[in-house]
Amino acid sequence: MIRCLVMFFYKYFNFFKVVLFTRLYNFWINYLSSANFSYWWNFGSMALVCLILQIITGIFLAMHYKSDFILAFQTIEYISRNIQNGWLIRYMHANGASVFFVVVYLHILRSLMFGSYSYPRQLLWITGIVIFILMIATAFFGYVLPWGQMSFWAATVITSLFTAIPFIGNEIVLWLWGGYSVNDATLNRFFSLHFFLPFVLLALSIIHIMLLHDLDQTIH
C-alpha cells in the first residue's frame, strides 16, 4: 500500500515538475525575444520593482494610519515622529510614487518611440493604458490621505469635476463623497480604494507581462 502511494506521488510529481515548472521556465525566462533590445527595455521591469516597493511600504504605513476625519493628519505626524524609521517608510512611499510615475512615463515614451501600440501588440498597449489610468486614480487617493489643506481641497476640486458629466454627474459626486460634502466617509472610501487598487495593478501587470511573452503579441 505504501509502495503504491509512493509510486503514485512520484509519478504525478514528475508530471507536475515537467509540465508545470518547465512551462513556467520557458514562459518567464527562456522565451523568444527581439534582437534589438536596449536599455530602454529596462523601464518596464523597473516599474514593477517600484510597484512592489509601493505595496510593501504602503502595508507598513497602513498598520498605523487611521482613516478618520480628525485623526488622519495626527497619525501621519505620529508615523513620522514616533514610529521607528516611520519617516523613512513614509518618504519612501511618497517619493517612490513620484519615481514610479517617472519610470512609467519613460516606459510609455519607449513604447511610442518603437511603435509598441501597433499590431499585433494592441492588447499589450491597452492593458498598459488601463494600468496607467489606475495608477493615476491610486495616486490621487493616496494624495488625499494625509488630510491636510492641500489634500482636502484636492479631493474637493478633483471630485467636483465629475459634475460636468451630463445627467449623472451630481449623483457620481454624491456617491464619491458619501454625503453632500467631503467628509469622513470620503476619507474612508479613498483609503479603502488606495489600499485595494495596487493589488489590481499587480494582477494587471502580470497579465501585461504574459501578453508581452506571448509569441502572437511579440514575434511578428
pLDDT digits (tens, 9 = 90+) for 181-216: 899 999 999 999 999 999 999 999 999 988 887 755
Residue span of the structural domain in which 124 resides: 41-218
The upper half-sphere exposure of residue 188, i.e. CA atoms within 13 Å in the direction of its Cβ, equals 9
Q: Is residue 15 scored above 80 in pLDDT? A: no
Q: What is the mean pLDDT of the chain?
A: 87
Predicted TM-score (pTM) of this structure:
0.85
pLDDT at 22: 67
With cell 499587480, the residue in question is 202
190 close to 155: Cβ distance less than 8 angstroms: yes
Distance CA 60, CA 180 (A): 32
Q: With respect to residue 53, please indicate whether it lies within any of the assigned structural domains.
A: yes
Distance CA 123, CA 66 (A): 39
186 close to 160: Cβ distance less than 8 angstroms: no
Q: With respect to residue 177, please indicate whether it lies within any of the assigned structural domains.
A: yes
Q: With respect to residue 210, please indicate whether it lies within any of the assigned structural domains.
A: yes
Q: With respect to residue 6, please indicate whether it lies within any of the assigned structural domains.
A: no
Q: With respect to residue 10, please indicate whether it lies within any of the assigned structural domains.
A: no
Between 2 and 124, whose confidence is greater?
Answer: 124
Query: Which pLDDT band, with edges at 50, 70 and 90, does 92 fall under?
Result: very high
Amino acid, single-letter form, for residue 197: L
Distance CA 157, CA 176 (A): 12
Q: With respect to residue 29, please indicate whether it lies within any of the assigned structural domains.
A: no
In sequence order, which residues have a C-beta less than 8 Å from that of residue 83 and are 6 or more positions away? 64, 89
Distance CA 193, CA 175 (A): 14
Query: Which pLDDT band, with edges at 50, 70 and 90, does 39 fall under?
Result: confident
Distance CA 44, CA 107 (A): 6
pLDDT at 38: 81
Between 204 and 30, whose confidence is greater?
Answer: 204
Q: With respect to residue 18, please indicate whether it lies within any of the assigned structural domains.
A: no
| Total of domains in the chain | 1
Query: Which pLDDT band, with edges at 50, 70 and 90, does 218 fall under?
Result: low
In sequence order, which residues have a C-beta less than 8 Å from that of residue 71 and are 6 or more positions away? none
In sequence order, which residues have a C-beta less than 8 Å from that of residue 173 and are 6 or more positions away? 159, 160, 162, 163
